[in-house]
Chain A
Amino acid sequence: MAATSADPTRAFVSAAGLAVGYEGKVVLDGLDFQITPGIKVGLLGPNGGGKTTLFRALLGQIKPLAGTLNVDATCATVPQSDRSRLDYPVTCLDVATMGALARLPWWKRPGRKDRSQAAAALETVGLAERTRDNFGDLSGGQRQRVLIARALTADAELLLLDEPYTGLDSTSAARLDRLIDDLAESDRTVIIATHDVDQARAWDRVLCLNGSQIAFGRPEDALNREVLEATYGGHIVEIPGQPGQGLLPAHHCDHEHEPGHEQRQIAGDR
């Protein structure tokens, strides 16, 4: 995986007093944080808390309504794979090659070099054997990795992953964990929107949102009862026998009774 040259003083994202929203209406405000290269950031918050709005602001799709936002990195989004059209006539290589469009002028089509780069990106995400397969024939985890390959083809330094673990089995989730680790080790920063508080504890930073910034920092400092209550509206439960690790929003505990969740926990405990 190609590594970027890490500059410890460089910030990929700097937000100061930032407020963003739509048509003049503020959806998310009070944002003050700095995100440096080569880290994994968990973006936590309830549905409607502002995670997608922040992604749109980082991508430049919406402008700040107040404050400042500096994004000093090539940015790419990795949407949930189940939002893609599975009946669409594209191969994995076609999808990965789409990333090249981000750096090409409008009149230029991706060439052989771009397709080679896309093939290399598919190899990086462990899908070298599937380049000619239809995107819709892949499993959810594989589709997620193809979309990450598309971001790599775009030479993205900052990857925005929108709930990438949704619907993945434990094996696919573990593979995605390793890929995200590899991305961070190559000095890319990965921001992962998730509802899984437990999982976010393993990452370098967490940003908690609920209409405004609730907390930003290291998970061990930020993910306390007050922050989780403010982020998830006060529905927090404490799991006995897990001091410091057992604070979870109630929805998270509900999921523990769903089929497959136990497997996910085991994968997360590796």
Chain B
Amino acid sequence: MIDWITEPLSHGTTLRALVEISVLGVVSGAIGCWIVLYELSYSAESLAHGLFPGLVVAALIGAPLLLGGAIGVLIAAILIVLATRLADESADTAIAVVITTLFGVGVLLALSPSSPPGIQELLFGDLLGASTGDILVAAGAGAAVLAVLWLLHDRLLAIGFDSDSGQALGISVSTLNVILLALVSLTILVSVQGLGNLLVAAILVGPAAAARLVTRRIRPMMMIAATIAIVAGAAGIYASYYLSTAAGASVVIALVACYMLAAATSVLQGRFGARQGAS
């Protein structure tokens, strides 16, 4: 049994993947709770798809992926505003049209025969390809995200609870929302290399959504979400090692399994509680 656990750790690629997913799990667990509480899951997924062309172009010209992704997000935001105002579309229609278009452009570039090998990994991720440098970048960006979240914790809690009164408490709701979206973007940028553009939303939303089903306190919710992300991440990497499956996709399936387990637990608890209340 011990060998079964330790053997994958003797491989540098697996060990680095475990460290990378642990770093991403802690950051995603924390910010994922705000994504779920602020009902930003669709926005988070849209952001991930919207920055895809930026990532591909950065990879093609050899620029840093973080820079390409950041420019991609900025362009997506401008296009969404233009579509909303100039074409007089509703916000969700504008987001759907712009994001689908941008994602299509990104896929076109990434999958063209002239693209260098490896660019396709931006779509599905390459956890096992994480280098020490990737881990350090993720840890640095993650620490910055966590520091800002810690600083703004009470204000985020107040605005999420009641945004009208938040204004009366001297909090700028729009500024706070922009900061939150910027933190989500940064988390996506550092996660996308490991989990891929298509799958990154799973680690942002899945653990937090599962945690919300089993607790009604914000701090335990964050800790449970981070734990779920790390445990599911490790389970996915072990599954990938022993079953020769794609690491990113295995992690996502483990995350979904955790969510389903939490949902089943929540339903059973609700029924048990209702039965106790009735008796």
Residue ranges of A at the interface with B (Cβ–Cβ < 8 Å): 59, 61, 75-77, 79, 83-85, 88-91, 94-95, 97-99, 101-102, 106-107, 109-110, 134-136, 147, 150, 154
Contacts and interface: CB of A to CB of B under 8 A. Distances in A.
B3 interface: no
User: What 4 A-B pairs come out closest when comparing CB atoms?
Assistant: A98-B158, A102-B169, A77-B168, A89-B218
Contacts of A61: 167-168
A102 B212 CA distance: 28
B167 A84 contact: no
Given A89-B212, A89-B217, A109-B151, A102 B162 contact: no
B158 A101 contact: yes
A235 B144 CA distance: 61
A58 to B, nearest CB: 10
Interface residues of B, number: 23
B138 interface: no
A198 B46 CA distance: 53
Nearest to A132: B217
A94 B157 contact: yes
Contacts of B162: 79, 83-85
Interface of B: 37, 151, 153-155, 157-158, 160-162, 164-165, 167-171, 212, 215-218, 221
Nearest to B164: A79
Nearest to B162: A84
By CB atoms of chain A within 10 A, which of B155, B212, B215, B216 has the most?
B216
Contacts, number: 67
A85 B158 CA distance: 11
A82 to B, nearest CB: 12
A134 B161 CA distance: 12
B153 A91 contact: no
A97 B169 CA distance: 11
A107 B151 contact: yes
A83 B161 CA distance: 10
B161 A98 contact: yes
A39 B202 CA distance: 54
B154 A77 contact: no
A110 B151 contact: no
Given A98-B158, A102-B168, A134-B216, 15 more contacts: A59-B168, A75-B168, A77-B164, A85-B160, A85-B161, A88-B37, A89-B217, A90-B157, A90-B161, A97-B154, A98-B157, A98-B169, A101-B169, A102-B170, A109-B151
Nearest to A136: B216
A97 B157 CA distance: 11
A102 B154 CA distance: 12
Contact of B221 (A89, A91, A101): A89
B177 to A, nearest CB: 15
Contacts of A77: 164-165, 168
Given A101-B154, A107-B151, A110-B154, A88 B160 contact: yes
Contacts of A102: 168-170
